[in-house]
Structure 1
Amino acid sequence: MALVSMFVAHVAPSAGPGGVLNLSEFLTAALFAMLVGISAELSKERMNFPTLFASSVVRGIGLIALGLYIASWGAQVDIVLQYLGLLSIIVALLVFLPTWLNAVIALASWWFTPWAMAYFEPVHQRLVSEGSLLHYLTLWMFEGPNYRTFTMVAWAAAGIVLIRLVRNRAAALQIFAAPLLTAAAGATWYYAHTIMEFLPYTGNRWEVGFDLLLAASAVCWCLVIARVFSRRESFLEIFTVAGRMTLSLYVLQIALLALYADLAPSYGFSSRDDSWPMLVFLTVISLLFAWIWHRAFARTFIRRGPLETIFALLTGRG
């Protein structure tokens, strides 16, 4: 779901009927951040604090370096990997905190996001004018044009709380949580539209809260679907193998979009990559790549995916 939402957000040429496709602009970053929290929580079950934290630092630095590198390729995409890299390091601390404290952190991050953006804006501008490398830290943490790690902490911490609740309670909680969270997200969307201009990436409380509810709804619906198909896993194989290979598919997407932006004008096409054919192409090629890779290397150590294997070896999670 996160992959398809990402492709829609990046290349869909319109908001679709009733603006439904515009929901991807609210969902994608929040869902990826929530999955970072959930992934770290699951990793905690087999790794102690020093091991998980050291692994997360290496992974975070690797994601930041990779993000800076692919940002130079020229794709018309604001690269999110630097923000997720910083988040990965922070989340390694959060998963060892009690559930109630993660809930408090999620609420605090949600509530103080507008304040943090306003407070650190002059600090960031001063660091930029001074040529200080610290401006990257304020940029990724508070002042990104579309993403902010400070805001992502709310989504990741909420993901930790959510996965603990649904795994430690009866299966019925998963089933009831999905429609309840969806209804809450719908109500938030409605009320936000009635009182103010409601846009993604702004960092106001309505938007951050809606993103959180939307991502939580998506996670719960995926859990329900997984439970329904638990005895027919082959039906979902093409999606599950792609879900395990999100980093490789993200970079593949950036490479394809950068290649298109570079070559399209010389063939008489617009350099803008927003189009329905591009959306279909990215979706199909990503699902096929993941499925073929899985089929070809399922019994080898590189079955995770090209970049996933490299990161597993670097972080000791192999």
Structure 2
Amino acid sequence: MADPVTDDDGDVVVPRRVLGLDAARGLAVVAMVIAHGVPFISERVSTSGAFVLNQINDLASPLFVLVMGVAAGLVFDRGSATRGIGRATVRGVALIALGVGLEQLNHWVAVILHILGLLLIVGTPLLVLGTRWMVAIAAALFVGSPWVIEAVTRAGGGVAGSVATTADWAANPLVQWLVTNTHYRVLTLLPLFLVGAVLARRGLGDARASWWCALGGLTLLWASFAAELLGHPVVFSGDHPDQVQENGLALAAYGIVMAVDIAAGRRPAVYAVLRPLSLVGQVALSLYVFHVVLLVPLIPRFPEGGWLPFGLLLAVALVTSWAWARFIGRGPVELLIDALSPARRPRAPVGA
């Protein structure tokens, strides 16, 4: 772990970039790019291949939210909570604007940026609470959110997982983003955000916490597989089997990446694996926006799909983002958001 640095306000609250944390964020956004390219090849993969791709798809968003919570926990100073909440609100509004804008383009991606923006606005004020309160809220949301989703959806004239809502009030974007969205919702992402903030308080150099995180995640993942075999499959996005699986994937991936980083230090073999992912993680928002925009011309150009457009999407998006981070530095979207509300961290040096 690097030493803390002092920000422009004189607060010593921000650790320098951590290879494992950036690598975990990079893994999440790479999984998103792969998941959004899957429709090109969905009819060309075997059953086992489809299973692996489904796990990659299910890993992407919860891992990104977990890392987002860790980052929020690292930069949030309870001694200057008002400034931290204000900064998070501005950044959240910027993400909402980006997400809504991307939704207007012609692609098949279920855009998550506006959900993440609202999550940042809702979740950051909770970081003023003590760790036990944050864990309790996360546990309560994990247990109760499926029933809330079902109740709100039913009140809106729909059935969770099968029939869309019909009531006018249920069409409100805030209702959808908070509760009824069929892909992502603040209600079920907030527990992971809070868990990430708790992990940040433990310290990113805590190897025991990382391995317990990995073990807990793998236990949840295997429990989700067992539940499906016993006749309890996922019925709708956000139900208990769905949360157990996705949270398990995120916790396991994050824990393993961080534990490996802590244990291996800068050993060449491990550094060679984590370093490219960490570079991609430093420009994760720019990569997300870029790959969604890239799909707009690719989809009509390859109406039958195939491995070629899938490979082009991955190669162009990932190589471009890696090269940008390696030779230029922070991504354009990150720079734009930092211009609106400066991040409480130092900029990564070019080529670092």
- Is 1:291 aligned with 2:336? no
Q: Are 2:279 and 2:326, in contact at CA under 8 Å, matched by a contact in 1?
A: no
Distance 2:67 2:222 in 1: 24
Distance 1:286 1:144 in 2: 27
What TM-score do you get using the length of structure 2 for normalisation? 0.77
Number of aligned residue pairs: give it: 303
Distance 2:218 2:82 in 1: 40
Which residue number corresponds to residue 260 of structure 2? 225
Quote how far apart the aligned CAs of 1:86 are.
0.5
Q: Are 1:86 and 1:149, in contact at CA under 8 Å, matched by a contact in 2?
A: yes
Distance 2:33 2:48 in 1: 14
Question: Which of 192, 195, 202 is 2:230 aligned to?
Answer: 195
Distance 1:246 1:125 in 2: 38
Distance 1:254 1:201 in 2: 25
Which residue number corresponds to residue 286 of structure 2? 248
Which residue number corresponds to residue 316 of structure 1? 342
**1:37-88 superposed Cα distances (whole Å, 9 cap, x missing partner):** 1111011159821111111111111111111111111111111111111101
Q: Is the alpha carbon distance of 1:167 and 1:261 closer, same or farther for their aligned partners in structure 2, counting shifts above 3 Å? A: closer
- Is 1:262 aligned with 2:300? yes
Quote how far apart the aligned CAs of 1:306 are.
0.5
Which residue number corresponds to residue 70 of structure 1? 102
Distance 1:181 1:240 in 2: 24
**1:129-156 superposed Cα distances (whole Å, 9 cap, x missing partner):** 6766971110100010111110011111
Q: Is the alpha carbon distance of 1:123 and 1:189 closer, same or farther for their aligned partners in structure 2, counting shifts above 3 Å? A: closer
Which residue number corresponds to residue 300 of structure 1? none
Matches within 5 A, 1:123-142: 124=156, 135-142=172-179
Q: Are 1:40 and 1:91, in contact at CA under 8 Å, matched by a contact in 2?
A: no
SS in 1 for 2:182: coil
Structure 2, unpaired ranges of 5+ = 1-26, 159-164, 345-352
Q: Is the alpha carbon distance of 1:205 and 1:131 closer, same or farther for their aligned partners in structure 2, counting shifts above 3 Å? A: closer
Aligned sequence identity (%): 25
Which residue number corresponds to residue 183 of structure 1? 218
Distance 1:31 1:222 in 2: 11
Distance 2:123 2:59 in 1: 20
Quote how far apart the aligned CAs of 1:216 are.
0.8
Structure 1, unpaired ranges of 5+ = 298-302
Distance 1:40 1:197 in 2: 34
